[in-house]
């Protein structure tokens, strides 16, 4: 089992322990591997090359303090360090690891991540700093356990001790660090463990100094509303905690609802026979449009066709500026017009083209500048392959589409203007854009398929900025249709 170098905490944080996640167990097997059991009967071999590594991994069963893990990691040679980080990273990527605080026998908190451990560097805080719980943290119950979720970092804190839960919730009102530490010490916790916990919660953003530092990231995150953030992360791969995709009737014994909802008690007005003599390419394209999931592998899309497709479907056609009177100096907004409607003319969706082998453009990911009508390469062929492979999986097969568009939202543009409906408007824009892409492709002899899921964390790594500044919101696979599938 190998994985990308997922960040793992190797800092000697007092009070923090690394443990196997809930329902995960590790057994020693013969030769050079351990057997990991998790989920509903899932088993995986964990292959190691050094006995010292297997001993260290077995310690995860009862928990290993981060202080000891850091020391043991330092004591390994470079190959051992890489192997350990790879193994822990692979476990972490499958969400099989957690941090326990402040001990493993009766932990008060079990901290897990849906995305990869954020920065675990301690930053000293003076005792007179005032801190408060982030407005983006949400406490809710899952089965019998209360949890605190903080989606910007993909963190979930299992709240296992009522006293510490109450103490954590007391951060709802701003209070001095020294006072908070004193209260936790009065609950029987060690001062150094509590200080370290608070410093980490501040580093991760779950607790924030008040008034907040006015750095750019915090200001943009402050534009998000709690409901939008939780909805966004829970409905995309990468930061979500539950199941995604088709789970027919999972939560009910009821049959699937009918397609039509007749209203038998109401009078009906029969509509005239629709006109068939309207000469319109759009009407024809609307009636012929279908999703196509298999594409010709040996028919590259010429650059001129790609250019026409982008010009027709996503290029900005004009710009303007609107003023917001009475909102203070400089409160104006640049807006745009294009082939798809966009709520508030925000046009906050960005287009990224994933190109596979055998196309005119070299494989990789390209950002499309919708104003200049130009492309620039932002990522390698391997990354493009991974995203196109994900699209193939969503289309129910293994053959990646030759081309795919990843749609991201520049959230700040929409959230700057709207409250409450901002995320809904982003997704409405995506829906409108999907149809424009379908029709544009149809008109050019291309075919495509909207994709219902995209890995937010994967695109975040490509884009080099947190999802809450610019995050993936959709995908569209396209190319020339495969001649044999009979899909169109
Ligand atoms: C928002 C949205 C998400 C979709 N996601 C997927 C997907 O992940 N995989 C897939 O094969 N088709 C996907 N589709 C295509 C639908 O399955 C398709 O539109 C539907 O089956 C109707 O077929 P038609 O488009 O040929 O009329 C999606 C369509 C929309 C609008």
Q: Which atom of ligand 1 lies at the shortest distance from residue 245's CA? A: 8
Q: Please provide residue 33's backbone torsions phi and psi, each rounded to the nearest 5 degrees.
A: -145, 160
Ligand 1: residue whose CA is nearest its atom 22: 291
CB atoms within 10 A of CB 207: 24
pTM equals 0.88
What is the DSSP-derived secondary structure letter of residue 7? -
pLDDT of residue 212: 66
pLDDT interval class at 3 (50, 70, 90): very low
Contact status, residue 163 vs residue 184, Cβ threshold 8 Å:
no
User: How far apart (Å, rounded) are the C-alpha atoms in residues 330 and 24?
Assistant: 55
Q: Please provide residue 18's backbone torsions phi and psi, each rounded to the nearest 5 degrees.
A: -100, 130
Least confident of 129-133, 325-329, 471-475: 325-329
pLDDT of residue 285 exceeding 50? yes
Does the Cβ of 339 fall within 6 Å of ligand 1? no
Per residue in 446-478, pLDDT tens? 999 999 999 999 999 889 899 999 999 999 999
Q: Output the CA–CA distances (angstroms, integers) from residue 144 to 116, 138, 160, 230, 276, in the order listed.
A: 25, 16, 10, 21, 60
Q: Which atom of ligand 1 lies at the shortest distance from residue 293's CA? A: 11
User: How far apart (Å, rounded) are the C-alpha atoms in residues 156 and 251?
Assistant: 24
pLDDT interval class at 439 (50, 70, 90): very high
Does the Cβ of 291 fall within 6 Å of ligand 1? yes
pLDDT of residue 2: 35
Does the Cβ of 433 fall within 6 Å of ligand 1? no
pLDDT interval class at 120 (50, 70, 90): confident
**Spacing of C-alpha 278 from chain mean position:** 45
Does the Cβ of 313 fall within 6 Å of ligand 1? no
Contact status, residue 15 vs residue 108, Cβ threshold 8 Å:
no
Per residue in 189-211, pLDDT tens? 999 999 999 999 999 999 998 87
Q: Which atom of ligand 1 lies at the shortest distance from residue 290's CA? A: 26
């Amino acid at each position: 089992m190998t994985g990308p170098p997922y960040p793992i905490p190797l800092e000697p944080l007092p009070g923090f322990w690394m443990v196997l996640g809930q329902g995960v167990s590790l057994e020693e097997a013969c030769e050079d591997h351990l057997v990991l059991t998790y989920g509903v009967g899932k088993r995986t071999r964990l292959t190691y090359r050094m006995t010292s590594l297997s001993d260290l991994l077995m310690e995860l069963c009862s928990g290993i303090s981060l202080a000891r893990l850091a020391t043991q990691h330092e004591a390994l040679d470079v190959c051992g360090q890489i192997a350990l980080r790879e193994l822990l990273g692979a476990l972490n990527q499958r969400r099989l690891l957690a941090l326990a605080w402040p001990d493993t026998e009766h932990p008060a908190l079990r901290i897990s991540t849906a995305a990869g451990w954020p920065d675990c560097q301690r930053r000293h805080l003076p005792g007179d700093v005032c801190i408060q719980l982030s407005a983006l943290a949400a406490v809710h119950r899952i089965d019998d356990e209360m949890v605190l979720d903080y989606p910007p970092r993909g963190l979930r804190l299992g709240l296992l001790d009522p006293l510490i839960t109450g103490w954590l919730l007391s951060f709802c009102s701003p209070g001095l660090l020294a006072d908070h530490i004193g209260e936790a010490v009065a609950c029987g916790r060690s001062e150094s463990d509590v200080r370290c916990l608070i410093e980490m919660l501040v580093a991760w953003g779950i607790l924030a100094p008040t008034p907040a530092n006015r750095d750019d990231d915090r200001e943009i995150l402050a534009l998000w509303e709690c409901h939008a953030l939780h909805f966004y992360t829970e409905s995309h791969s990468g930061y979500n905690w539950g199941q995604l995709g088709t789970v027919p009737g999972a939560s009910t014994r009821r049959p699937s609802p009918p397609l039509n909802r007749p209203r038998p008690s109401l009078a009906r007005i029969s509509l005239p026979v629709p006109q068939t003599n309207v000469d319109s390419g759009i009407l024809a394209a609307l009636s012929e449009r279908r999703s196509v999931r298999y594409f010709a592998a040996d028919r590259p899309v010429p650059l001129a066709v790609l250019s026409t497709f982008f010009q027709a479907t996503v290029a900005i056609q004009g710009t303007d500026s609107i003023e917001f009177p009475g909102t203070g100096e400089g409160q104006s907004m640049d807006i745009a017009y294009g082939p798809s409607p966009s709520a508030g003319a925000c046009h906050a969706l960005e287009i990224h083209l994933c190109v596979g082998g055998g196309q005119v453009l070299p494989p990789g990911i390209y950002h499309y500048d919708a104003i200049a009508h130009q492309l620039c390469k932002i990522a390698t062929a391997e990354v493009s392959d991974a995203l196109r492979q994900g699209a193939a999986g969503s289309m129910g097969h293994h053959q990646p589409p030759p081309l795919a568009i990843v749609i991201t939202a520049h959230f700040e543009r929409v959230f700057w203007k709207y409250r409450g409906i901002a995320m809904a408007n982003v997704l409405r824009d995506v829906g409108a854009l999907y149809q424009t892409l379908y029709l544009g492709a149809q008109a050019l002899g291309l075919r495509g398929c909207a994709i219902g899921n995209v890995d937010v964390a994967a695109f975040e790594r490509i884009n080099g900025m947190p999802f809450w500044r610019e995050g993936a919101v959709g995908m569209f696979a396209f190319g020339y249709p495969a001649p044999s599938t009979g899909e169109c």
